[in-house]
Copies of this chain bind each other. A is one copy, B any other.
Amino acid sequence: MDIATLRANHPEHWKLATAIRVLAMDAVQAANSGHPGMPMGMADVATVLFSKHLKFDAKAPRWADRDRFVLSAGHGSMLLYALLYLTGYEQATLDQIKSFRQWGSRMAGHPEYGHLEGVETTTGPLGQGISTAVGMAMAEKSMAARFGKKVVDHRIWVIAGDGCLMEGISQEAIGLAGKQQLDNLVVLWDDNNITIDGRVSVADITDQKARFAASGWTVLACDGHDPEDIERALSAAETAKGPVLVDCKTIIGFGAPHKADSHAAHGAPLGAEEIAATKEIYGWPYGPFEIPAEIKSAWEAIGSKGAADHAEWQVRFEALSGAKQAEFERQVTHGVSKKLATAIRAFKKAQSEAAPKVATRKASEMVLAAVNPVLPETMGGSADLTGSNLTLTPGLGDFSAENRKGRYIRYGIREHGMAAAMNGLYLHGGVRPYGGTFFCFTDYARGAMRLSALMGVPAVYVMTHDSIGLGEDGPTHQPVEHLAMCRATPNTWTFRPADVIETAEAWELALSSERTPSVLALSRQNLPTLRTKHTTQNLTAKGAYVLEEAAGKRQAILMATGSEVEIAMKARDILQSQAIGTRVVSVPCMELFAAQDEAYRRRVLPAGAVRVAVEAAVQQPWDRWLMGERGSEKKAGFVGMTGFGASAPANELYQHFGITPEAIAEKVKSLL
């Protein structure tokens, strides 16, 4: 629909939508950077969505039963910010819009979760929003099954662009949502046929509608500038089978006389002249950032119309038993049940006595078997490696269209999609997600794992087969740099537990984390229980601690993690037998150790002794603990990997790469 027809036939809609467009133009112009074209193109769709379909109450942005709106095409952030401002979200002020993209503004270049109420997830890296939304949709289904449709019954609406759909992660999301038949998920595709390099056809000829249909989606279409057609499509979407794609044909930079329908409208201010000409075409005589009171009021009415729904919901919610209400609140706000600590304590006591020799991936399964029954909010899964990751415990049941009470998600061979879905499961509320793959395939999931860290989503990544210890599968499957990668990433806890006890402690920390994701790097190979003396204290929470003190004068300190702690202990035996007093420090989490006060760090790593770190990975993260923290280069050594691994049985690899008790002892002696 062209502008003249739109203005003539839908004057009220036109005013509402134009308010979005001009705010986007003005804010990008004022910031001198940003993306005006997408908000201008999708303003009509967004206006229909917010005014007629989206269930929300602008004054209660955290209302649990609200619809979620995810702007997967995050560069079009001004679309979202304009909507939040116009509908009356308290934090979304006009001053904030004026400070778009400036230091301290809640309105960052891309929507940042936690900066501004109404931003449901961080987007910007393309494809993340749509994939995160799949997790939100699963969380809604799970909560509805557990608490009832009367209090959980909402939709996830996504706006995604061509970029989102070209990213590989989108296929993982599409496949997962199709299999799960998530009929509470609607993706509005901003089909403007423009990418940064030009027309979409420069790089892609995919028939997106056929592609979505191939994975079990309902596919609809509309003229994205015709309010009636949009309304028809969105109504149809609400009753369609399975997840829904709505192909919204739009024009990027709609109305800009020289830049519409061109990548010139995508990622830069339109310029004062083009803005003036566009406003002329819009019939918008107002100054920058000026929204007539009448239009603002109309938008605010939209923002408050959900208040009635909200009030009705409140009545239904209060009809639940008090215990059920409390449990609902706890799960939605991610409160940590006291049952966790109790379960972990009992587990540790039993296992420190039983002292099993098990792989830490197996230990992880044992912990989960103790914890999952008492934490109804956990939802586990694996990227098609259930029997290897050992992430499934009895009684969870597969989550599926037939069993929404199931708590185990068969993610398929989709590491990236799994990680993004975990973000969505958590952000929705009501679910604490964990998911497994091989540690090496952190590589595939990185994009979404970084967003866990950036958003402060305490997802738990169960990363098994964490070193050359996986053996014969060879270097493509053997992480060597991945511990360094995770440790270099801000706000990420990288746990590498040494035995069943540390594994339990790591899980306790991971599941009670408030805003830090955890990576559990777990062994394929069996490891002895080293912590056979029970303590209720969570020693892993200290990040590093003295596992075994030196006998006699302390001449050396061995630091190690995971499967190498056992090797370090054997090296200590050798050294002690030669009267070289050797302390062994287990370092299950460097980040937590770094967060301890200096006095504690100094006690664990006193000056003077030779220090040798042992880890079947690259040295980079160890330099601080070897040469810093009162260490010195002349007394520091490392036993680990300097390159990629190889294909052979694990024991042979440890021999060939020289990660042995003997090599460690020799290294110590060479430094004494």
Contacts and interface: CB of A to CB of B under 8 A. Distances in A.
Interface of A: 31, 33-34, 74, 101-105, 108-110, 112, 122-126, 162-163, 166-172, 175-176, 178-179, 195-198, 201-208, 210-211, 213-216, 382, 384-388, 398, 410-417, 440-441, 443-444, 446-447, 450-451, 453-454, 471-477, 480-481, 484-485, 487-491, 618-621, 623-624, 627-633, 636, 642-644, 646-649, 652-653, 656
Contact of A633 (B34, B216, B443, B627): B627
B633 A631 contact: yes
21 contacts: A33-B472, A34-B472, A101-B649, A102-B648, A103-B647, A112-B647, A125-B444, A125-B476, A178-B206, A179-B205, A195-B413, A203-B411, A203-B413, A207-B214, A210-B210, A441-B447, A484-B488, A620-B621, A623-B623, A623-B627, A624-B627
B447 A443 contact: yes
Nearest to A168: B168
A185 to B, nearest CB: 15
Contacts of A481: 485, 488-490
A642 to B, nearest CB: 7
Nearest to A125: B476
Nearest to A492: B481
Nearest to A392: B197
Contacts of A485: 481, 484-485, 488
B109 A477 contact: yes
A112 B475 contact: yes
A618 B387 CA distance: 36
Given A110-B473, A178-B205, A417-B168, A195 B412 contact: yes
Contacts of A178: 204-206
Contacts of A653: 103
A382 B124 CA distance: 18
A477 B178 CA distance: 30
Contacts of A644: 453-454, 490-491
A391 B158 CA distance: 32
A518 to B, nearest CB: 16
A8 to B, nearest CB: 37
Contact of A416 (B168, B203, B413): B168
A384 B624 contact: no
Contacts of A176: 203
Given A168-B416, A206-B178, A630-B633, A649 B102 contact: yes
Contacts of A196: 384-388
A102 to B, nearest CB: 6
A169 B196 CA distance: 21
Nearest to A483: B488
A454 B441 contact: no
Contacts of A125: 440-441, 443-444, 476-477
* Residue in A195, A196, A382, A620 whose Cβ sees the most chain B Cβ within 10 Å: A620
A373 B120 CA distance: 49
Contacts of A474: 101, 108-110, 112, 124
Contacts of A31: 472
Given A103-B648, A168-B416, A387-B196, A620 B205 contact: no
A630 B642 CA distance: 21
Contacts of A172: 166-168
Nearest to A128: B476
Contacts of A488: 481, 484-485, 488, 618, 620
A594 to B, nearest CB: 11
Closest 8 CB pairs of A and B: A168-B168, A203-B412, A623-B623, A108-B647, A484-B488, A171-B171, A124-B476, A103-B648
Given A205-B216, A413-B162, A440-B125, A490 B618 contact: yes
Contacts of A491: 643-644
A484 B486 CA distance: 10
A308 B573 CA distance: 65
Contacts of A443: 125, 446-447, 450
A414 B167 contact: yes
A656 B103 CA distance: 9
Contact of A386 (B171, B197, B387, B649): B197
A312 to B, nearest CB: 36
A431 to B, nearest CB: 19
Contacts of A477: 109-110, 124-125
A382 B202 CA distance: 12
A101 B647 contact: yes
A168 B166 contact: no
Given A443-B125, A643-B491, A451 B472 contact: no
B163 A384 contact: yes
B475 A454 contact: yes
Contacts of A175: 166, 203-204, 206
A631 B489 CA distance: 25
B214 A206 contact: yes
Contact of A454 (B34, B414, B476): B476
A312 B382 CA distance: 52
A619 B621 CA distance: 10
